[in-house]
């Protein structure tokens, strides 16, 4: 993050990975204990990845965390690398819940936002 800009680069975006698979990918990306990794609060997963030698910590989400996260992201100009195909797709297709008349509300949809959530 520099001068109200946020730079995002998708390194891993996959489903069905075990914690050991994730740790293997992180090793291949040359992440070390020096790199701070923030993860969803899942104690077992964090414990297993930490055992593999990574500095992983839980991110605690409170009430309205999706809306709060979107508010934070809106403060920055997002710069997303070309190779971040899944994140780009999510950003282009993100939607808000609609009312009966089809008008967007201020309620975010909690779907198809894994990369956005990580950001």
Neighbours of 110 (CB within 10 A): 10
53 and 72 both lie in a single domain: no
Residue 47 is assigned to a structural domain of this protein: yes
Per-residue pLDDT tens digits of the chain, which is 119 residues long: 557 999 999 988 888 999 999 999 999 999 999 998 888 888 999 999 999 999 999 887 778 888 888 888 999 999 999 999 999 999 998 888 999 998 989 888 888 888 888 88
Distance from C-alpha of 49 to C-alpha of 42, rounded to nearest angstrom? 11
Neighbours of 89 (CB within 10 A): 13
Distance from C-alpha of 114 to C-alpha of 119, rounded to nearest angstrom? 9
75 and 115 both lie in a single domain: yes
Distance from C-alpha of 119 to C-alpha of 116, rounded to nearest angstrom? 5
Residue 69 is assigned to a structural domain of this protein: yes
pTM for this prediction: 0.77
Between strands 104-108 and 96-98, the pairing is: antiparallel
């Amino acid at each position: 993050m520099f001068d109200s800009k946020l730079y995002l680069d998708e390194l891993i975006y996959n489903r069905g990975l075990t914690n050991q698979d994730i740790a293997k990918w992180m090793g291949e990306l040359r992440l070390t204990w020096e790199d701070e990794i923030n993860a969803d609060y899942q104690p077992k997963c964090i414990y297993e990845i930490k055992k593999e030698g990574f500095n992983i910590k839980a991110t605690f989400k409170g009430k309205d965390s999706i809306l709060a996260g979107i508010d934070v992201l809106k403060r920055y100009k997002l710069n997303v690398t070309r190779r971040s195909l899944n994140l780009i797709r999510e950003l282009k297709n993100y939607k808000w819940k609609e009312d009966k008349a089809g008008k967007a509300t201020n309620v975010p949809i909690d779907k198809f936002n894994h990369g956005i959530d990580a950001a």
